[in-house]
């Protein structure tokens, strides 16, 4: 788990944490969640849904978020947890861990999507939150960057699957590699690994 914190400006009233995940759809690798408390007095220009940004821009913004946010946290749920719990419950578990890792206690948590993890503080799901709420957008960027880096590293450990290229998502190339090599220890066995469908 990676953590970051900066002291809040004096007089800030209430702290909102935005939370999002990356990696629900892939056939391989863990799911990653991030929680971010932005400083409302110092907005970060250019923050947007991570899916709309180039990889280079995501990396640039991730560095700014880690440097300028009041607090941030990244957490994971493993492939084993995904297979045991299912991907939704594992994603919510990663979100719980990310919020618990914040060094500042938020007064409310906003989650991207329509499902909320169980938390000991007010929490609200926001459909399209990664486009609408800057703190959720920031969380989406941190989660995406962290997971992409993990999958690039995993590519070196498990050559032949192309993890560095597709990050575990169900591309035709990835499915062909599974057919050729069989699943790796990092594949989600509860997913339909060999069915060629558009996802």
- Give me the residue spans of the domains in the chain: 2-152
Residues paired with residue 35 on neighbouring β-strands, in sequence order = 19, 73
User: In the predicted model, is pLDDT for residue 155 greater than 80?
Assistant: yes
Alpha-helical regions (H) of 8-104? 55-68, 79-85, 87-100
| 155 is known to lie in a ligand binding site | no
Predicted local confidence at residue 11, as pLDDT: 43
Q: Is 20 annotated as a binding residue?
A: yes
pLDDT tens string 159-190: 999 999 999 999 999 999 999 999 999 999 99
Is 148 annotated as ligand-binding?
no
Whether the Cβ atoms of residue 70 and residue 104 lie closer than 8 Å to each other? yes
**11-63 confidence digits (pLDDT tens):** 445 899 999 999 999 999 999 999 999 999 999 999 998 989 999 999 999 99
> In degrees, to the nearest 5, what angle opens at C-alpha 151 toward C-alphas 165 and 131?
85
CATH of 2-152, one of 3.40.50.1970, 3.30.420.10, 3.20.20.70, 1.10.357.10: 3.30.420.10
């Amino acid at each position: 788990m990676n953590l970051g914190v900066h002291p809040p400006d004096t007089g800030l009233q209430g702290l909102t944490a935005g939370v999002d995940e990356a990696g629900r759809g892939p056939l391989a690798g863990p799911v990653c969640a991030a929680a971010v408390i932005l400083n409302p007095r110092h907005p970060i220009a250019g923050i947007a849904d991570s899916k709309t940004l180039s990889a280079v821009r995501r990396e640039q913004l991730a560095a700014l978020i880690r440097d300028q946010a009041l607090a941030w946290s990244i957490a994971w749920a493993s492939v084993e947890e995904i297979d045991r719990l299912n991907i939704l419950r594992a994603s919510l578990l990663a979100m719980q861990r990310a919020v618990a890792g914040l060094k500042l206690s938020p007064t409310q948590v906003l989650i991207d999507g329509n499902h909320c993890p169980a938390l000991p503080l007010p929490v609200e799901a926001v459909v399209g939150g990664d486009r609408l709420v800057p703190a959720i957008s920031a969380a989406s960027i941190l989660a995406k960057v962290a997971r992409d880096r993990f999958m690039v590293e995993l590519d070196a450990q498990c050559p032949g699957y192309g993890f560095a290229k597709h990050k575990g998502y169900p591309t035709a190339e990835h499915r062909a590699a599974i057919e050729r090599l069989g699943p790796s220890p990092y594949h989600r066995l509860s997913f339909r690994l060999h069915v060629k469908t558009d996802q």
